[in-house]
Chain A
Amino acid sequence: GQQVMQIPQYQHVQEGEDFTTYCNSSTTLSNIQWYKQRPGGHPVFLIQLVKSGEVKKQKRLTFQFGEAKKNSSLHITATQTTDVGTYFCAGPSGTYKYIFGTGTRLKVLA
Chain B
Amino acid sequence: DAGVIQSPRHEVTEMGQEVTLRCKPISGHDYLFWYRQTMMRGLELLIYFNNNVPIDDSGMPEDRFSAKMPNASFSTLKIQPSEPRDSAVYFCATYRGMNTEAFFGQGTRLTVV
Residues of A within 8 A of B (CB): 30-31, 33, 35, 41-45, 48, 88, 90, 92, 94-103
* B 30-58 binary contact with A (CB < 8 Å = 1; else 0): 01010100000011010010100001100
A5 shortest CB reach to chain B, Å: 10
Instruction: Give the residue among A35, A43, A90, A92 with the most B Cβ atoms within 10 A.
Output: A43
Q: A90 CA to B33 CA in the complex, in Å?
A: 14
Residues of B within 8 A of A (CB): 31, 33, 35, 42-43, 45, 48, 50, 55-56, 91, 93, 98-99, 101-107
Chain A residue nearest in CB terms to B59: A97
Q: A87 CA to B106 CA in the complex, in Å?
A: 17
> Contact between A94 and B99 (Cβ–Cβ < 8 Å)?
no
For A35, list chain B residues within 8 Å (CB): 102
> Contact between B106 and A100 (Cβ–Cβ < 8 Å)?
no
Instruction: Give the residue among B33, B55, B56, B101 with the most A Cβ atoms within 10 A.
Output: B101
Chain B residue nearest in CB terms to A45: B101
> Contact between A97 and B48 (Cβ–Cβ < 8 Å)?
yes
For B31, list chain A residues within 8 Å (CB): 96
Q: A97 CA to B43 CA in the complex, in Å?
A: 13
For A92, list chain B residues within 8 Å (CB): 99
* 30 sampled A-B residue pairs with Cβ under 8 A: A30-B99, A31-B99, A33-B102, A35-B102, A42-B91, A42-B105, A42-B107, A43-B43, A43-B93, A43-B102, A43-B104, A44-B104, A45-B103, A48-B101, A88-B43, A90-B102, A92-B99, A95-B55, A95-B56, A96-B48, A96-B55, A96-B98, A97-B33, A97-B48, A100-B35, A100-B42, A100-B43, A100-B45, A101-B42, A103-B42
